[in-house]
Amino acid sequence: MRRDERLMRAAHPLAYPLLQAVHGPVRRVPGIGVVVKDAALARAVLLDGAAFSKRGRGASSDLWTPVLGPSVLVNMHGDDHRALRRRLAPIFAPGFVEPLVERTLGAGAAELERRLAAGERVDLAAHARRSASAAIALLVGLDEAAVDERLFRQVTAITGMVRLSRPRFSPAQVRRARAVLDELGEHAAAAYRGDESTVPGRLRALGLSQQEALSAVGAFVLTGTETIVAALPRIVALLADSGTLGELADDAAAERAIAEGLRWTTPTPVMLRATLEERRIGPVRVRPGDRVVIATYAADRGAGGFDPASDRAAALKQLWFGAGAHFCIGAPLAMAQLRLALAALRRVEAEGRRIRVVERRPARGQLLPALASCVLEARA
């Protein structure tokens, strides 16, 4: 897994080695917070909403409230959070998400399959970025003609400013982030006033005010679109390198492989919480005001090395998407996108070709560890 080590360091050359150097399941690290690397302890923190919150000093709210406003899921806690989540839930129900993904990304997946089957080399990372841009366009009501990698670069320019040792953005960074979201917000506001074929229009139909809808869309864009770009090429590369992509003979095997890939790559490698009440996390006592840094990637990988045929991921209950009240509401969307792309690649392998990674390069300056390029070739 040396390639994976280099990829993690490329994304976070300081934070990743620092967290790797933290020994034991939980430890207090000066200047960072209480670092949790054990899956059971991480889940206990995430499920204890009375003591640990996304809102507070050093938590998610410090980062995102100045950019998105006070009322989006990523910076809310308690009854207000539960109420907004209930109102947004229909947007991410599988019955709504799956046809949406097929309509938006189906043609791109078909083109990916066609080109590989024809013997062409295809950059899966570039494909994933175009898919993310198409998802952004849908979220904010942009015309398809506006879909290009520029959209994705605009978003990653914001998330790429996040640093573990810096709990909030500088005023200049907030201004840059707001400029990008304001531009997208103009399109989202127009879509909000239109029909229900776009997400903003659907949010209006669900009873959200325009400001609530625009804040929600901003949060979806920032927290969701980069996930698939980071996860898809890495998961496919793991399967191709291990020679197991062609072994996914049925949907059940593919689901296990996706879960195992998500366990290993971990869409949210670190989760932040502010302590509200005194507790013990393992042997470490925490008090109100303490920052808790859950090293999700380390907790997930504690189950062992990558093995797509195993059920190791099942015991973690999708910890990579969180747990409890803050379990990622967009998980069905990410899963639908992964299934669509992986199904296309499985069909290529089923036709007697083996997909290999012939070129790869890690991404730099992004929040989530990712591949800037992942060139695939299907050989007979």
What distance separates the 2 farthest-apart alpha carbons in the chain?
Answer: 61
Give me the pLDDT at residue 146, please.
63
- CA dist 246 and 170 (Å) reads 47
Residues 6 or more apart whose CB falls under 8 angstroms from that of 245 comprise 236, 239, 345, 346, 349, 354, 355
Is 247 within 8 Å of 210 (Cβ atoms)? Answer: no
Among 87, 380, 141, 357, CA closest to 232 = 357
DSSP 8-state secondary structure symbol assigned to residue 198: S
DSSP 8-state secondary structure symbol assigned to residue 163: B
For 334, the 3-state DSSP assignment is: helix
CATH number of 271's domain: 1.10.630.10
Per-residue b/e over 46-56, b at no fewer than 16 CB within 10 Å?
bbbbebbbbbb
What's at 215, amino acid-wise?
S
Structural domain span for residue 83: 2-379
Q: What angle do CA 8, 181, 202 make, to 5 degrees?
A: 105
Give me the pLDDT at residue 147, please.
63
Q: Which helix (H) or strand (E) holds 243?
A: none
Walk along the chain (380 residues) and give the pLDDT tens digit of each residue.
Answer: 678 888 889 888 888 898 999 999 999 999 899 999 999 999 999 999 999 999 988 888 888 899 888 888 888 888 988 998 999 999 888 888 888 889 888 999 999 999 999 999 999 999 998 888 887 777 777 766 666 677 778 888 888 888 777 778 899 999 999 988 888 888 889 989 988 878 899 899 999 999 888 888 888 888 777 888 899 999 999 999 999 998 998 999 999 999 999 999 998 899 999 999 999 999 999 999 999 999 999 999 998 999 999 989 999 999 999 999 999 998 998 999 999 999 999 999 999 999 999 999 999 878 889 999 999 999 98
Cα–Cα distances (Å) from 291 to 3, 23, 141, 154, 366, in that order, read 31, 18, 37, 29, 23
Q: What are phi and psi of 371, to 5 degrees?
A: -100, 125
Q: In what order do the strands lie in the sheet with 122-123?
A: 122-123, 371-379, 354-362
Give me the pLDDT at residue 133, please.
81
Count of domains for the chain: 1
Is 353 within 8 Å of 347 (Cβ atoms)? Answer: no
